[in-house]
A and B are shown apart, each in its own frame.
Chain A
Amino acid sequence: MRRYIAKRIVYLVLTLFIITTATFFLMKNLPGTPFDEEKLALLTQEQRDQIYASYGLDKPVIVQYVNYIGNIVQGDLGTSIYYTGQDVKDIIVDRIYPSALVGLQAILLGTVIGLILGVLAAYRHNSGWDYAAMIVSVLGVSIPNFVLAALLQYYIGLKWGILPVAFWESYDSSVLPSIALSVGVIAIIARFVRTEMLEVLQQDYIVTAKAKGLGQMAILSRHAVRNSLIPVITILGPIVVNLLTGSLVIENIFGIPGIGSLFVDSIKTNDYATIMGVTIFYSAFYVVVMLLVDILYSLVDPRIRLGSGRE
């Protein structure tokens, strides 16, 4: 196990390095400059050159790249141009908490409710529950989460005044965004769990357990559900990442100062340092989550051996 983790960490670093390099060069090809072009047009060429030089943008791209990698290794993610003078690391750290809280709550809520719906649907296969659960699932996948967000904001926030309409002021502010984000998660997990459970319920050991006299609840909880969790864990990886990135619109709608909007804004304004910083952050997060998911696999299903034979 330990060798496996060590090997994966090496791959992790390699992956991050490749992603950083690719993003860096792609990003340098974005049209436009990090500056306000309307104002830039009013300067003379010398003044413009001076501004570029002060940000190190006058050197050849390769030199900029080498400098950047050198800085990263020392833990310096650079300085933002758009948020003039702010350290990219500080900006990211400031904005992580809201996104993380909302995202995590969405996952928890989504997983729990998705599980319940999926189990119900499989257990009461082809009954009203099954169809209802699947309709919810289809709706959850089809309705864009920002439509739901706007509806929630209008009805629950404005009309009925139960929860705050927007802004990030107290714990309550995270409830509506989490609900909006969780619907997609519910939909996907319900579907997966249902499919897996249907298969599990056909298995021999379930029949054996019934024959041994185990009650329905015991069968469900001790055998069926646990065995249906593998696809859930598989898909948890991509879901986590989707929530991080897909939360952008939710953050805009609810006025949450999170990291999704930071990312898109930095791309729109060609803020090189921030784009790179957030990309590295997201990539690192994703690879680490993937590693954790794989480790979780081996814990959940002893048939899966990490390392030998699987790679």
Chain B
Amino acid sequence: MKKKGSLSLLALMLVFSVVLAACGNNNENASGSSSPSASAGASGSAAPSGKPINLYVENEIKNLSQWAASDDISFTVLNNVSEGLYRLDADNNPQPALAQDVAISDDKLTYTFTLRDGIQWSNGTPITSADFKYAWLGEMNPTTATNGYSFILTDYIVGGAEYAAGTGTADQVAIEAKDDKTLVVTLKQPTPFFLRLTSLVPYFPLNEAFVKSQGDQYGLAADKLIYAGPYVLQSFDIAAGAVLKKNPTYWDNSNVKTDTINLKVIKEQSTALNAYKAGQIDRVTLASSDVDANKSNPEFGTGIKFRTTYLQFNTKAEGLSNVNIRKALSLAFDSNILAATILNNGSSGASGLIPDLMSGDGTKTFRELNGKVIEANIEKAKELWAQGVQELGSAPKLTLLIADTSEVKDVATFLQSEFKNNLGIDVAIDTKTSKARNELMDNNNYQMAVTAWGADYDDAMTYMDLWTNHTPYRGNYESSEYDTLIANAKKETDDAKRTDMLLQAEKLLVDTDAVVAPIYFGGYSFLQKSNVTGLIYHPYGNPVEFKSAVAQ
């Protein structure tokens, strides 16, 4: 009897492991995990192909159906396996992609796109203007699109908003597939950046027959998608990553130099760095703490994102309803110190809401035109604070609401100490999960919060019209002057006048009414192997282009 004890224990364990190993091996092979030594590349390409490039994304690849995708990671993949009418180049300018050219009417409202000859999906079906119409209507329809991006179509295309709300029909939406190669779109108001918008994922085409044939399985596996971009997906696993192969049916095939791109999912920053040093990936984004150690490395580089982190004031909250209090807080911290010493990763102190390098009037950037709309001024801050306290009767007790990511926690600590040193006040920090923070803001349950917004396209309007919806999330800001400026800017056909209205709007929002206090413009530092070139990273919209990437 006593023999049974340890023997049965061991036996049980051995059986377990054998069983798991057996079914596990099948699993592993089926899920198509990638290996750098990929099999022979796709046929049909004349140019010699470079070595495989290994990259990574920082989170799981959630969903590759463009009607459901809303995060940078999904966009990273989709942008490279599919394509729109235009594609942004290394200077972030739109270049004809699936469209050959466009004719714009004099009133700037009607765009007539002519598609290229011979473009086809990866399964051989021709790509036609009907594919664009189908995809765009689907994105505007709340029963098919769940990613919250319908605004990027309905804000601009005639009939779009009504169709989305259910008050208009699909026929009343001004998208016309005149013939297989001609797509005519009518806009509600002149939009100088419309061509840039067409490079975004929600504007990509979809083949109706294929999508319908996959039903609710569409986008869930590599063989449940068809491709129009420089690469196709050979395989993808949500948590492990994806393998991209050169697309033999892509119209610009001869300019795609790399046969295979391996995309891994690495959530842990230190793991990514170790993998980079081991040569398993070709590029890594550095954490702030690793920047100094790697600055002198020739593989070091920095980049910017059009993403502004700012302090959102709740203009109806107790204590913050007084504009002098808000202005005092806005001027009481020096964001340049924050960017240089604490963040130390390529981010820069914010001099306004709109990031540096975002376009202004075509020759000068927005920031150059408007100059410094916010700048630390401790003396003035103290004066305004005293004034505000006098008007309110007593000094308000303030709490700063933040989400629990490590970068934001550093920012909050910095603000807290600046407020203490410069204004002599104690601000409490309330840390919550992102979800909880959003809920509190939505429910008007906060005084001031640190939040951020990344640009969807290269025009100040991507920021400015956020504060016309009067929601608690945007500080309960209700200014008819501001609303009028934005509404007029949306209708204005003269570019110079339009830019001027936007410049005024920023001054009103940040300086006069002190609704938000911009803190810093996002930047990042990275290491990239010197033999890998041609990777294009955009500061907004689609994160990266693999099309011209090559590893010598």
Contact = CB atoms under 8 A, between A and B. Distances in A.
B70 A104 contact: no
B27 interface: yes
A161 interface: yes
A209 B27 CA distance: 50
Interface residues of A, number: 71
Interface in A155-197: 157-158, 161, 165-169
A82 B60 CA distance: 10
Contacts of B216: 85
Contacts of B487: none
A86 B146 contact: no
B379 interface: no
B268 A83 contact: no
A1 interface: no
Given A39-B148, A226-B2, A233-B9, A50 B143 contact: yes
A38 B469 CA distance: 14
B5 A301 contact: yes
A247 interface: no
A262 B151 CA distance: 31
B70 A36 contact: yes
A215 to B, nearest CB: 18
A226 B433 CA distance: 49
B239 A262 contact: yes
Contacts of A47: 142, 150, 164-165
Interface in B1-35: 1-6, 8-9, 12-13, 16-17, 20-21, 23-24, 27-28, 31, 33-35
Contact of B239 (A38, A95, A161): A95
Given A43-B151, A85-B219, A257 B265 contact: yes
Nearest to A232: B9
A244 interface: no
Contacts of A37: 434-435, 438-439, 442
A43 B150 contact: yes
A269 B63 CA distance: 15
23 contacts: A32-B434, A32-B436, A32-B439, A35-B148, A36-B70, A36-B148, A38-B438, A50-B142, A51-B142, A82-B62, A83-B63, A101-B21, A101-B24, A104-B16, A108-B13, A153-B271, A165-B275, A166-B271, A252-B267, A253-B270, A255-B265, A268-B434, A300-B4
Interface of B: 1-6, 8-9, 12-13, 16-17, 20-21, 23-24, 27-28, 31, 33-35, 60, 62-63, 65, 68, 70-71, 142-143, 146-151, 164-166, 216-220, 237-240, 264-268, 270-271, 274-275, 277-278, 280, 432-436, 438-440, 442, 453, 469, 471, 473
Given A32-B439, A167-B240, A167-B275, 19 more contacts: A31-B439, A33-B435, A38-B453, A42-B148, A43-B142, A54-B146, A82-B62, A84-B62, A84-B68, A85-B217, A85-B219, A94-B238, A105-B17, A150-B270, A166-B275, A167-B264, A261-B239, A268-B434, A300-B9
